[in-house]
Structure 1
Amino acid sequence: MTSRRSCLRLLAAGAALAVMPQAWALRAAVDTPGPQLSQTQSRAFQAWMLRIVNAQIERGPSPRWTHRDCAGLVRFAVNEALAVHDAKWLRANGIASDRRLPPEVELDAAQAGLRNRWVQLDGSVGHFVTALALVQNNSRLVAREISQALPGDLLFYDQGDEQHLMVWMGARIAYHTGTVTPDDTGLRAVDIKQLMNWKDTRWQPAPNNPNFAGVYRLSFLS
């Protein structure tokens, strides 16, 4: 519990000060080195990540996606974007082979090892990671202004006892509510204007919102 509280205090401080989150994010990146994708690979990865998130929203969650919450959506989309997108993969994910498919990411062996490799708060590596550990140990801060986001970037919110992630899609923002019912998959997609004017101001991705920690980018992307 002490470690978690320390992490929350650190993240809250980062949301309040402009300089501190950058130093914190750089320290996390240094502490967790690993394979990097080139700019070409990164763009292809981001395109696949968006295609996979879109498929979950349009077709419904894949049976292969477990742990359905906001961090689970990111983990699933990242891992599948790093997969080999051959005919077998397309069939398993219900994605049609057409001209709209992004180019293949073309990973080497070390880069392919990024799949299911998440650094936990304690520094260990595993298949599972929370929203907090995902941004603290597996991402870097880009900015607190949404205008700096690229497709595939993560919007991180600290609501005190709970943390939440959203995915910047370019024109829309996708997220999972964390709850699932027989009639509701929990998946949502809203446009930026709608979210910036959200009645519950805790969810507005604005620099003056103390609950919005900022825009984060996966550490392995260029």
Structure 2
Amino acid sequence: MFPRSSLLVLLLLSVGFSSAETAPNPRALSAAQIRDANADGYPDSTQLHSSSERDAFLRWFAAIAESQYTAINADWTLQDCSGLLRYAYTVALKPKTRAWWSRFGYFPDRTIAPLELDLKPVLNSAPFRTRGGTFQRSDLENKTFLKDVSVGYLMRYASVPLGKDVKAARRGDLLFFIHPEAQGSPYHSMVYLGGGQVVYHTGYAPEDGGEVRLLSLETLKKHPEDTWHPVPSNPNFLGYFRWKIAAG
């Protein structure tokens, strides 16, 4: 029989070994798995390569974000501005099983083509880049990729700009604003739903009154603070963006 202290050591080693088994080993990945042909910072194996897949992703992403306006999913734990984007992004890529559907109290579009992309073999549960540059094997060991990142990182390293004209945007694209004087992150994000509508989280924790809101661009243009107006003349409006995974 082992002394209690020895059992504790064995337990810790066992937990550490299990965690190591589930995490990707950068040195074991093939050249094909880590190739970054378009030099956008993400391995090609973690991106979508057909227009139909990209279309499906944007539609799934938008529908998931929109659904949170009606009923918050129980498994969306980090509820804030960037959290809505991260949650809808990762859930959109999961297999659409019965368990997947059971998390929703409401879903606005059930006509979307099936889509799933397993990022775990390369990125595990940390799909968002935090610095510039092309993808390197070492990125998987130096925290270049994280699971929970703020809006600024999503804008700079996970999406590409489309300009400030709404005509360039489609359902599932993103809007970003900047307010340097704001407490915390100066960036704010919204999801474009098409048809002149957006959905977003106000950024505050639920216990502080944070919530998901859905409104029209026309209503947003009438906001009493013109720094929130989604118009080309507003320097605080950074424009429309598209996720790199769906940008081609």
Percent of matched pairs sharing the same residue: 28
Q: Which has the larger radius of gyration?
A: 2
Q: Distance in 1 between matches of 2:109 and 2:179?
A: 41
Range that drifts further, 66-75 or 114-123: 114-123
Matched, 1:32 2:56: no
1:169 partner SS: strand
CA pair 109-213 structure 1, distance change in 2 beyond 3 A: closer
After TM superposition, the score normalised by the length of structure 1 is 0.77
Q: Deviations over 1:143-194 (max 9, x none)?
A: 1112211111110111115110010011210111111445955111111111
Q: Distance in 1 between matches of 2:80 and 2:208?
A: 16
2:68 is matched with 56
Aligned length: 192
1:167 is matched with 191
Q: Is the 8 Å Cα contact of residues 49 and 152 (structure 1) preserved in structure 2?
A: yes
1:72 is matched with 83
Where does structure 2 lack aligned partners over 5 or more consecutive residues?
1-37, 133-138
Higher relative contact order (CA closer than 8 Å, sequence separation 6+)? 1
Q: Is the 8 Å Cα contact of residues 83 and 115 (structure 1) preserved in structure 2?
A: no
Where does structure 1 lack aligned partners over 5 or more consecutive residues?
1-28
Of 105, 110, 119, the match for 2:115: 105
CA pair 108-175 structure 1, distance change in 2 beyond 3 A: closer
CA pair 93-130 structure 1, distance change in 2 beyond 3 A: same
**RMSD between superposed Cα atoms in Å:** 2.7
1:26 is matched with none
Q: Is the 8 Å Cα contact of residues 198 and 204 (structure 1) preserved in structure 2?
A: yes
2:161 partner SS: strand
CA pair 112-85 structure 1, distance change in 2 beyond 3 A: farther
2:53 is matched with 41
Q: Is the 8 Å Cα contact of residues 175 and 192 (structure 2) preserved in structure 1?
A: yes
After TM superposition, the score normalised by the length of structure 2 is 0.69
Q: Distance in 2 between matches of 1:112 and 1:184?
A: 37
Q: Is the 8 Å Cα contact of residues 82 and 112 (structure 1) preserved in structure 2?
A: no
Q: Distance in 2 between matches of 1:126 and 1:87?
A: 28
CA pair 39-210 structure 1, distance change in 2 beyond 3 A: same
The Cα shift of 1:195 comes to: 1.2
Letter in 2 for 1:192: L
